[in-house]
Structure 1
Amino acid sequence: MLARVLVAMDGSRMAERALEFAVEAHPDAEITVLSVVGVPSWFMGEAVGLSLSESVPEAAAEHAKPILDRAREITAEHDRGIDTAVALGPPSRAIVERAGDFDAVVIGSHGRDLSSRLLIGNTAELVVRRSPVPVTVVR
């Protein structure tokens, strides 16, 4: 039985399915939803705005708010609560860095759009290869 499960969410339908899976498959586990906000770069359009903010952590939290609000809606439908966290940086690295504090990671098979997967790489694949704990990939 798993006590602590980390679910990565990026606003995609696959991420929502991953959270639904985690809630149903691990009814007794403490679930933490992690939203990763990328660092500013030429190919991460929304993240560029972070560099213009007075407080990058506050801007990242604001950027992640709709994703985490949606996570709370999904888990409320199952009468479950969650913890939430926001990280900055490349998504696969941020997820793997936090994974060691959990018994397992649940992640969607792919993110929001094709262009980000082509430019950044497949986050799920990198997490599976580098995670110190078991990873479930949900399609």
Structure 2
Amino acid sequence: MTGGKTMDMKINTVLVGLDGLPRAEPALRVGLELARVLGASPSFVHAVPVPMPVWPDIDTTRFVELNEASVEAARGHMQMALTEMVGDGLPGPLGDCLRVIPGYPSRVLVDRAEELDADLIVLGSHKKRSLVDFGSTARGVLSQVHCSVWVQPCKFDPVRRILAPLDLSEHSLEALRMAVMLASSIGARVDTLYCFDAPEYSWGGIPGYPDAVPAYLRDESLDAVRGEYERVLAEFDWNGVEHQQHFAKGPPVPGILARQGDYDLIALGTHGRTGFSAAVLGSVAYACLKQSHLPVLAIRHPERCWTA
């Protein structure tokens, strides 16, 4: 990328956030499999909520002792559960890759990711959360970390087909490169999708009143965008990965979600183009994370960030 940072395609460290077990099992298995096929080091973290010192007449020493006891109890529980779930599937001693840390889950995950310089965070189910948001932990992590985040809302299945929505921004193409790297490592195919959402109205005539965009102008715009889409993908380095391109008319979110049944993973950038004529991929990424029943790989660019 001219004048800015480029994404590092190599994944060296995979950090898995472990919620309550067995609910965390899908994320655990995804993290272990990704670490295996990518040659990365897996690490696991579990956050233990620590109550505020609201009890009357409790001194600081006693409060610290209670917190330490809670953490130790949680650590023992997590170690036992992980051993039962994966047995000898861990690449090294459990004590070397598991951390149980007191604090809010999103803050613990962000701090641990920074400490490890993690390249990928894997989170588990958010389906039991409020419909207002796709999960406070996931959103808190995405708003602060500088690495990509994989959200696994379902049981773990091998990924053979990846859907990579594009808006032709440089960030979305960087995200496509990451998807291709992953596909090359796991033996998957990548299908791209561009959703052309042509404006029906424009502003520029009588103040306060929209003008209908003539059909011929919408058709010309569609042909121009489709031509650019085909040109960019024809020049793209696919690294031998099987691929296919799709072009559709309509808003991107319904277009992406309508194709869920044909894929095992949605991989997309967290930001894209802004402006009247193109989708804001940040909004698209958020909607997919919130509504998709598939795993979603939200690929961050080092120069872009969300707001919490």
TM-score by length of 1: 0.77
Which of 83, 87, 90 in structure 1 is aligned with 2:244?
83
What is aligned with 2:232? 70
Which of 155, 165, 170 in structure 2 is aligned with 1:8?
165
Contact residue 106 and residue 138 of structure 1 kept, 8 A:
yes
Q: 1:32 is paired with a residue of what secondary structure?
A: strand
Residue 22 of structure 1 and its aligned partner are, at CA, apart by: 0.7
Q: Which has the higher contact order (CA 8 A, sep 6+)?
A: 1
Distance 1:117 1:79, change over 3 A: closer
Q: Which amino acid aligns with 2:261?
A: G
Which of 168, 174, 177 in structure 2 is aligned with 1:20?
177
Find the aligned partners of 2:266 and 2:298 in 1 and give their Cα distance. Answer: 9
Which of 11, 25, 30 in structure 1 is aligned with 2:189?
30
Find the aligned partners of 2:283 and 2:233 in 1 and give their Cα distance. Answer: 22
Residue 81 of structure 1 and its aligned partner are, at CA, apart by: 4.0
Larger mean Cα displacement after TM superposition, 1-10 or 58-67: 58-67
- For structure 1, the residue ranges without an aligned partner over 5 or more in a row are none
Aligned residues: 130
| Structure 1 segment 104-119 matched on structure 2, within 5 A | 104-113=265-274
Distance 1:80 1:94, change over 3 A: same
Percentage identity across paired residues of the two chains: 25
Higher helix content, 1 or 2: 1
Q: Which amino acid aligns with 1:52?
A: Y
Distance 1:63 1:125, change over 3 A: same
Which structure has the greater CA radius of gyration? 2
- For structure 2, the residue ranges without an aligned partner over 5 or more in a row are 1-157, 203-212, 301-308
